[in-house]
Amino acid sequence: MARKNKEPEKKKKVNTDGVMGLHGSTTEQAISETLEINYMPYAMSVIVSRAIPEIDGFKPSHRKLLYTMYKMGLLSGGRTKSANIVGQTMRLNPHGDAAIYETMVRLARGNETLLHPFVDSKGNFGKVYSRDMAYAASRYTEAKLDPICGEIFKDIDSDTVDMVDNYDATMKEPALLPTTFPNVLVSANQGIAVGMASNICSFNLKEVCDTAIALMKNPDHDILETLPGPDFSTGGELLFDEAATREIYTTGRGSFKLRAKWRYVKEGNLIEITEIPYTTATEVIMDKVAELIKAGKIKEIADMRDETDLGGLKLTIDLKRGVDPDKLMQKLFRMTTLQDSFPCNFNILIAGMPRVMGVGAMPDEGTAWRTDCIKRRLFFQIGKKEEKLHLLKGLERILLDIDKAIRVIRETEMDSEVVPNLMIEFGIDEVQANFVAEIKLRNINKEYILKQTKAISQLEQEIADMRATLESAKKLKNVIIKELQAVSDKFGQPRKTEIIYDAAEAAPEDEGEEIPDYPVTVFVSKEGYLKKITAQSLRMSGEQKFKEGDSLSFTKETTNKAEFLVFTDKFQCYKSRLSDFDDGKASLLGDYLPQKLGFEPGENLVSLQFCGDYKGFVLFFFENGKAAKVPLSAYETKTNRKKLTGAYSDKSPLVCAMVLEEDVQIALYSSDGRAAIFSTAQLLPKTTRNTQGVAVMMLKKKAVLQNAVLLENSGIVNPGRYRTKTIPSAGALIKEEDSGDKQQSFEV
């Protein structure tokens, strides 16, 4: 019988952060330590070795597949079964045949994902614009490398890139590919890592090469001149927005707006959609249209079908009688992904570190990388030529006295002593002596001797030229420029995505459902909260509620269809309608305008003005004492544009803005206690929105214009004291009876 322990065994403390040890035992470990030891290596592996592309424009999976095909001789040879390629790639990429084949599909010409495919495919590889079209199995398709891969692997055997061990150290693979053009911008790429992601759109190869060349010649080059926007393999139209494009070019983040390309066929009363945004699929569009028809939101369509064939993509819409095709397409652009956005996140690995880069910086990084490749190539070629030169110089010594060499060889008894004897007699090293000893007897004629002697001087000149190139940044730059120009001439192609520069005027306002119209009262707080309250709710409500520290700025009676303009301190104007806001109550805070209208970080509301039928003008008053009178019609748009940049002058901070239908008397107040009254009829309207205006109040040093209100709302008892017939005016010191707290108007 087994002896029992005298004392019961103490239970080991099990921590929720514990980890299992050997034999099932549990040891304590801090959660931070668990993350550092177990999770961080995984996260870094996903970021560095899987999801984020590097400066050559490839992820590791792309690079391993293409290099395998290169080593299989598929750059110049015929196609082979895709299954064969997948199997060979497993020597470098042990992630299974399905993952490898999916990578090949994306790189294939048949799939149409890339502007410049790297795989010349045969068979069904699916389509990037179709969600449901499945690609054939690897045993049914064939592939080889596309000719452009000659630029991807150029001089890879000349030590241009580092070669590293594969996963089991049985063979070598390139750490990067020495691509001769900025492929990172030419090939679209998307990846999701741990805690970060990358989404890179494609640009036209010729435009990218031209941009890289222009930046090398002039670092201050405006890349928008040579790179107007992305180019997608699915074509479509790019709605150009200069501000958004420059932001992406500078920061590497933002989005491009894309829409489908269509045509109206009068004979059949139908619309044919031939190109769609890169971000959507035909099935997504068809499903959404069917949903809208079923919901009764679209009644103009009789039928919609997919007529895609070998000729390319085509979605056909049969119209009902009397339907305006333009209005229908504008409605579809608003309600479906026929108009979509491509979000950009130019996150790439530079020297193993993830970095979000502006498009403008990427050609520079590519040039630096390519410069390093060319230097390594030149070093490699110089080494090879110096080896050959070394052999020829040894041969030169022998050929000067060939008879002596023959005599040395003939008089040497042992074969093993031939090389040492030649070294002693002619003062050459072992490598040179071995080379000389292997020369054929037929090659000791006069012609051979002269030819080899001439080769020595030619080699010396070539080596000198290469060294001069290595030492000259200008010559290295010229080598890169010539290569870029050659790639552009050989593989450049016209843009597939058409750029629409007047995009802002291309889409009319939503004319969908009728907007109900009824009387409402609007309350706007000083911090930017807006409440829209119906007449019935207002009669039943009590005191208006505001956020702590906030108070009423103004109130106005209007209708639900009324439009208003919001001017901010970032020189921007946002347009909106009251119908976009829900009916509120006095007990609610209301909608926060900066959030509702999508203000930029740090942007603040300065003035909210109702614009009526856009008759009249807007008055802008600036701290420097100037005022600008701009026709209200300058802010009227027949588009769905909600934001207008450069809405007013940026030369001085905006004090206030007011919309007026006719000329009135305005009271101005300065920070040093002075006031002036003038008539707006003294201001001439300016045609440009960002006009600096004219001086209306002369200010003393360090004084600023502090406020401007309608005279009737100013509380001034004796206006004659402050009124002026000419502008600018210095005004007069405010008397006590005129300085009441009446400068804040609560009606507009």
Confidence at residue 8, expressed as pLDDT on a 0 to 100 scale: 46
Are residues 590 and 709 part of one domain?
A: yes
Q: Report the CATH number at residue 277.
A: 3.30.1360.40
- How many domains does the chain contain in total? 3
Residues 566 and 711 in one domain: yes
Length of the chain: 748
The three-class DSSP label of residue 743 is coil
Check whether residue 588 and residue 706 sit in a common domain. Answer: yes
If asked whether residues 695 and 582 sit together in one domain, one would say yes
Identify the three-state secondary structure at position 611.
coil
The predicted pLDDT at position 11 comes to: 42
pLDDT at 740: 58
Q: What is the pLDDT of residue 511?
A: 47
Residue 171: what residue type? M
Same domain (yes/no): 278, 154: no
- Give the domain extent around 704: 519-738
Residue 667 lies in a domain: yes
Does residue 374 sit within a domain? Answer: no
Q: Check whether residue 132 and residue 273 sit in a common domain.
A: no
64 domain residue, yes or no: yes
Look up the CATH number of the domain holding residue 141.
3.90.199.10
164 and 272 both lie in a single domain:
no
Beta bridge partners of 499: 238
- Enter the tokens of residue 701: 């040093």
Q: Are residues 299 and 157 in the same domain?
A: no
Supply the pLDDT for residue 486: 95
Residue in this structure with the two tokens 């909210």, named with its chain if needed: 608
Could you tell me the CA-to-CA distances from 644 to 259, 299, 567, 636, 725 in Å, in that order? Answer: 21, 33, 10, 11, 35
Rounded mean pLDDT for each run of 10 residues along the chain, 748 residues in total: 44 44 65 83 81 91 95 93 96 90 95 95 94 93 96 93 92 94 92 87 95 93 93 94 91 92 92 94 94 88 92 92 90 92 92 89 90 95 92 82 83 86 87 84 74 84 93 94 95 94 54 69 89 85 83 87 88 86 85 86 86 86 91 74 80 89 89 89 84 88 88 83 86 79 43
Confidence at residue 6, expressed as pLDDT on a 0 to 100 scale: 46
Please report whether residue 532 resides in a domain.
Answer: yes
CATH, residue 525 = 2.120.10.90
> Of 337, 352, 386, which closes a domain?
337
Instruction: Say if 624 falls within a structural domain.
Output: yes
Q: Are 613 and 710 within one domain?
A: yes
**Among candidate residues 272, 305, 337, the one where a domain is terminated:** 337
Domain annotation covers residue 21:
no
**677 plus 554 within the same structural domain:** yes
- Alpha carbon 495 to chain centroid, angstroms: 18
Q: Quick check: 160 and 149 in contact, CB under 8 A?
A: no
Note whether 268 and 145 are same-domain residues: no
Q: Is 654 helix (H, G, I), strand (E, B) or coil?
A: strand
pLDDT at 276: 95
Catalytic (active-site) positions: 140
The percent of the chain in helix, strand and coil, each rounded to the nearest 5, is 35, 25, 40
**Is there a domain that residue 406 lies in?**
no
Q: Are 741 and 698 contacting, i.e. CB atoms less than 8 angstroms apart?
A: no
**End-of-domain residue from the set 156, 179, 202:** 179
pLDDT of residue 144: 96
Q: Give the DSSP H or E segment for 489.
A: helix 473-491
607 and 711 part of one domain: yes
Distance CA 362, CA 348 (A): 9
Q: Where are the alpha helices (DSSP H) in 439-472?
A: 446-471
Q: Is residue 11 in some structural domain?
A: no
